[in-house]
Amino acid sequence: YSVLGGKVVINAELSDARRNDVVWADRVIGTVDDLLQMESQLIHQLTDASTQALMSCTIRRAMVLPVPHLDSNALLLGGIAMMHRSTARDLDRSRELLDAVTNRHARVATPWAWMAKWHILNVIQGRSADAPTEFRQAIDIADRALDLEPHSSLALAIKGHLLCHLGVDLDKSRDLLLMATEVNPNDHNAWLYAGFWSTMWGDSGDAVRESERALDLSPLDPQRFFIEMLVAHSYLVANDLSKAINMCHQSLRRNRYYLATLRVLMTAQYEVGQVEDARQTLGQLLALQPDLSVSKFLSYGGQSKIRQRAADAMAGLGLPR
């Protein structure tokens, strides 16, 4: 780096020493005053860019290399990243990677917890032929993770999230989620799923508070679009429709193909009176999920008020029941 008056110039490089590859390099300019701040924009810029580059490199390798050639870290990170993408191919590859890492580390809780999460996303992306059965299969996997590590905040949060989606044993679901936030108050997944529980079944004020807490804890998360989608859900249940729409647009700029985000956006647009915009959003949904119907959407989980609002919007826009 070099300092020129009040300016600082940083030449940064991220290298993979194992393969002697440069993963990322950049030259950034900022002020010395900014660099000394607790919330330095320059540090955020460097961290965000290097994190995104590292994840992109991991995903590229996970997509093309045979599973035996990938180390366990690449298997897990690739599996997590690809499950949050939008295509059937990505979800299938994610499952393959997670299968491999659970086979290699059968007595480690974290890969099993993420495998349970994979089943949730398989359902909400509209790929499951029997959502309730798949959710119960995922609960068994989450229980396996908890048997291995009873105080895993990730496993506690994911099991609570599964029960929340099913709409059964809601008190136990809430207890698991609150336990996860107590075990690790800095686990954004625990707060995120607690916020989703409040969105589906609880108080709208709690939904917003818990969801925004998750957002604050994960400023550089590569799956930030997913967090923003669930925050938008909380704004929708609080009837802050303009904030829900804005948050959906923010999420879609990171991943414009994510079905759950499009469903929240369509619902908020319809309820605020932006019917033509809602119809266009429904068109995007149908382009990605041609077999979508109101009844198919309602089969994804428990019949909460927020799910019914989305179904009513779909029906109001002419989607077959």
Q: What is the pLDDT of residue 299?
A: 84
Helices in the chain by DSSP H: which ranges? Answer: 32-35, 41-64, 72-83, 88-104, 109-124, 131-148, 153-166, 170-183, 188-201, 204-217, 224-237, 241-254, 259-272, 275-288, 294-298, 305-316
The domain ranges of the chain are: 1-63, 207-321
- Please calculate the CA angle 46-49-53 and round it to the nearest 5 degrees: 135
Which class in CATH covers the domain with range 207-321? mainly alpha
Residue-level pLDDT, tens digit, the chain, 321 residues: 889 889 999 999 999 888 888 989 999 999 999 988 888 989 888 988 888 888 888 888 888 899 999 999 999 999 998 998 878 899 999 999 999 999 999 999 999 999 999 999 999 888 888 888 999 999 999 999 999 999 999 999 999 999 999 888 999 999 999 999 999 999 999 999 999 999 999 999 999 999 999 999 987 787 899 999 999 999 999 999 999 999 999 999 999 989 999 999 999 999 999 999 999 999 999 999 999 999 999 887 777 889 999 999 999 999 998
pTM of the model as a whole: 0.83
Nearest residue to 159 (alpha-carbon basis) of 207, 119, 187, 125: 119
Q: What is the pLDDT of residue 108?
A: 98
Q: What is the pLDDT of residue 148?
A: 98
